[in-house]
Structure 1
Amino acid sequence: MTVKQLRAFLAVAQNLSFAQACERLHLSQPALSLAIKNLEESLGGQLLTRTTRSVRLTPEGETLLPIARCLLADWDNAEELLLQHFNLQVGKVAVAAMPSFASNRLPAALRAFRDAYPRVNVAVHDVINERVMEMVRDRRVELGVVFEPATLDGLQFTPLYNDRFVAVVPASGALADKGELSWTDLLTQPFITLQRPSAVRLLLEESIAARYGKLPVAFESHQLATVGRMVAEGLGVSAVPRLCQRQMEELGARCLPLSESYVERRVGLLQLAGFQLSSAAQAMGDVLIAQALAFSDGSG
């Protein structure tokens, strides 16, 4: 059976008229008759009896009628649902993002996405860099936002922007009056940072070890918000990606540029290499790219 044959049968069965069925389906009478004939041949028996004055269903035609209604309704519903997904009238997308991005830049992107596609559900996983990579590989999420991995191993990385670390100091301390700081100035103070295996912590350690030695860690936490509050309370200093600057300042700390030995890393989108994104995930990626351009231009 084909969908075309079932539509032809249903139109005749509901109208009990070939002429009315032709008008409804916009088919010629020979084309309609051929569709019915092919359906009967494929099923092995007559479904309709036709005279010059009337059309009637055979017992087998009566049996097929409710089945045809159900099959065609399911077909039409499936077609409509997929059209809605492709047109982003409905759908869902899952995104994983490292905490420094999830708590700072992602909310604005989600607002722009929701404004454009209000009926698409978004699931956000706020997890460490390495976990983002695992979730993309396991296909638990379609998109991830991470610092650029050292090795991709089946993943595809699309750069969004370079993010340079800034110093975080108490707003009321002597360091806050400076226009910028050197790493030498910063590392003379008790250092507050994220716990391993945070990508921010690992990047800091790797970047300054050769020139400045071991980080003078006095306090460490799993949450950026806790790091910011501890700095604001005068317990020490820190260094975070610039995308976290607004969050640190809202927590009461002061952020300053670092004048030497820049620590920076590319932030970007992660997906499975060679894997076709859903329409919803593609749209989310486009929103994140647009937001990153605004951020790089200084307007984000």
Structure 2
Amino acid sequence: MNVTLRQLEVFRSVALTRNFSRSGQLIGLTQPAVSRCITELEAQLGLKLLNRTTREVELTEAGRKLAARLERVLEELDNTLLDVQGMATERRGRVRVASSPTLSANLMPECIALCRRQWPGLQLTLLDRIQHDVLDSVRSGEVDFGVVIDPGEREDLHCEPILSEPFCLVCPPGHALAQQAQVHWRDLAGESLVLLDHASGSRRLIDRALEAQGVVAENAQDVGHPTTIFRMVEAGLGLSVVPDLALPPEGLNGLAVRPLLPRVDRDIMLVHRRNRALSPLAQAAWELIRDVARQRQADTGG
């Protein structure tokens, strides 16, 4: 089958725009050239990919199936070529990293900014996803590696801890617990709690800590993002337990933050597939993120 890369790129553009003229403008071809590429591709495959009328272009079932898988195939090819090129020119190419939301918001921006300053040719692309999806993207090879909370089960993963951080209490300043310099986990008994939902890598650790301390509390709300938690606590819907990294650098105006005793940490880790070695570019990005995290730990005295 003599299918060319140009034919596939033209089909991808037409599938996206549903218009031959706009596709030609995007990829620098005339409308007849776009039409010719599609006709040649259909002839090679032996089936129609598009239904064309004077007004619109519609994908056939075969066209929809090809379009659904083609984007990833072409991106993987692009990544491969960039990686190979990077081996020759050093620090040039793209590295894809997935991380869970609190890490995407509070660790990765510093890493991406430092990468741009140190290695302008290295494009560090972030996929911001819930922990379960981060691990799936690592295992499937969609990304080079991930930044996650300790996943627990890791037989198929190579993990390197880079940062440990404690959980803390967030509560309204007028609450009785806000009057204490330190709060014990047992003090949360009977309280209403607004917590990160079970899609978060932190929730398993919070539930385990509450159980270990014999705390029975009301689960008022499960939410997906710390910002939502803070607004709910402000509204008087309950107290919360969050990891230290979830706190904004400028602090929480209108809310009190107290350390929880005994200290319970969550471990932040870099992970990649156990039997898949990182490319030189990905290894450089891995080390950069590790160094930023460890410097942050040293600066905070953790």
Whichever of the two has the greater Rg, that structure is: 1
Give, in whole Å, the separation in 2 of the partners of 1:171 and 1:217: 21
Equivalent AA in structure 2 for residue 263 of structure 1: V
Alpha-carbon offset, residue 291 of structure 1: 1.1
Distance 1:163 1:79, change over 3 A: closer
Alpha-carbon offset, residue 110 of structure 1: 1.2
Q: Deviations over 1:108-131 (max 9, x none)?
A: 111111111223222212222222
- The SS at the match of 1:150 is coil
Alpha-carbon offset, residue 257 of structure 1: 0.8
Is the counterpart of residue 241 in structure 1 residue 233 in structure 2?
Answer: no
Corresponding residue of 2:121? 119
Equivalent AA in structure 1 for residue 279 of structure 2: S
Equivalent AA in structure 1 for residue 106 of structure 2: N
Give, in whole Å, the separation in 2 of the partners of 1:86 and 1:180: 55
RMSD: 2.7
Corresponding residue of 2:264? 263
Alpha-carbon offset, residue 213 of structure 1: 4.2
Between the aligned residues of both structures, percent identity stands at 27
Give, in whole Å, the separation in 2 of the partners of 1:95 and 1:290: 16
Distance 1:171 1:85, change over 3 A: farther
Equivalent AA in structure 2 for residue 266 of structure 1: D
Unaligned runs of 5+ in 2: 1-79
Q: Does the aligned pair in 2 maintain the 1:225–1:248 contact within 8 Å?
A: no
Corresponding residue of 1:279? 280
TM-score, normalised relative to structure 2 = 0.66
Distance 1:86 1:219, change over 3 A: farther
Count of residues in correspondence between the two structures: 222
TM alignment of 1:1-300, pairs within 5 A = 82=84, 84-85=86-87, 87-246=89-248, 249-250=251-252, 252-260=254-262, 262-299=263-300
Alpha-carbon offset, residue 270 of structure 1: 0.2
Q: Deviations over 1:15-54 (max 9, x none)?
A: xxxxxxxxxxxxxxxxxxxxxxxxxxxxxxxxxxxxxxxx
Give, in whole Å, the separation in 2 of the partners of 1:108 and 1:187: 37
Equivalent AA in structure 2 for residue 249 of structure 1: G
- The SS at the match of 2:213 is helix
Distance 1:273 1:118, change over 3 A: same
Alpha-carbon offset, residue 87 of structure 1: 4.2
- The SS at the match of 2:178 is helix
TM-score, normalised relative to structure 1 = 0.66
Unaligned runs of 5+ in 1: 1-77
Give, in whole Å, the separation in 1 of the partners of 2:82 and 2:127: 30
Equivalent AA in structure 2 for residue 94 of structure 1: R
Q: Does the aligned pair in 2 maintain the 1:207–1:263 contact within 8 Å?
A: yes
Equivalent AA in structure 2 for residue 288 of structure 1: I
Give, in whole Å, the separation in 2 of the partners of 1:165 and 1:87: 43
